Amino acid sequence: MTAALQTPASTVRGDSDDQRTQVPAADHRTAEALDRARVAAARVTDPEMPMLTLVDLGVLRDVAIEDGRVVTTITPTYSGCPAMATMRDDLQRELQDAGFEGAEVRVSLTPAWTSDWITEEGRKALKGAGISPPGQAPRRTGPVALTLMPTKRALTCTLCGSANVKLSSEFGPTACKAMYQCLDCLEPFQHVKEI
């Protein structure tokens, strides 16, 4: 699980090549603590899509130890994501349970979250919960093109696998989802939007 978390090497102390053979004991402890902190942080799930961990969702950007204190960094999926405060509380609680008091949770706005950051594990978990995972996010180079026809996505029904599906709304029960219906088995289902 933690392998998916991209942590800049600079945040891992005692990691430079020439020191590898004789790492001071204190750095060993830090590295061990950092591993434990990452494992704990990676347990936290998204409050709106609890089948996904914050790592699966690509929201947990970093776990580091600064001056003996755990500092985690999260990024919002949408500007108005109402779950940010809960994510922060859940991270602090999980880290506290793992023995890290007073963990700090920072917000990172750059780079902006994209649905491409949802991991393979996360995509499987979404499918397993009956939610259609996002395709590749649009890569824009020029001005945003106006799209007056319904967005075309190659989706299959999460229940019966039929490709005969219809978009019912580009907006769903959470900011990150669109609503679809299968025209064969009639199952309505949610699709995580590409952004």
Binding-site member from 2, 7, 30, 108 for other proteins (CB under 8 A): 108
Cβ at position 66, least distance to other proteins in Å = 11
Rounded Cα distance between 72 and 74, Å, is 7
Sequence-ordered strand ranges (E) for 78-182: 104-107, 131-132, 165-169, 177-182
Cβ at position 18, least distance to other proteins in Å = 32
Rounded Cα distance between 154 and 195, Å, is 16
Neighbours of 117 (CB within 10 A): 19
Cβ at position 60, least distance to other proteins in Å = 14
Binding-site member from 132, 172, 182, 191 for other proteins (CB under 8 A): 172
Binding-site member from 83, 118, 131, 157 for other proteins (CB under 8 A): 83
Cα 43 to chain centroid distance, Å, stands at: 12
Closest-CA residue to 191 (of 75, 182, 80): 182
Alpha helices (runs of H) in the chain, residue ranges in sequence order: 25-41, 54-57, 84-97, 120-128
22 or 141: CB nearest other proteins: 141
Site residues (CB under 8 A) for other proteins, limited to 40-79: 47, 71, 73, 76, 78-79
Candidates 28-36, 88-96, 117-125, 158-166; binding stretch for other proteins (CB under 8 A): 88-96
Rounded Cα distance between 136 and 127, Å, is 16
Binding-site member from 21, 22, 136, 146 for other proteins (CB under 8 A): 146
Interface residues toward other proteins, by CB under 8 A:
47, 71, 73, 76, 78-86, 88-90, 104-113, 143-144, 146-151, 168-173, 175, 179, 193, 195
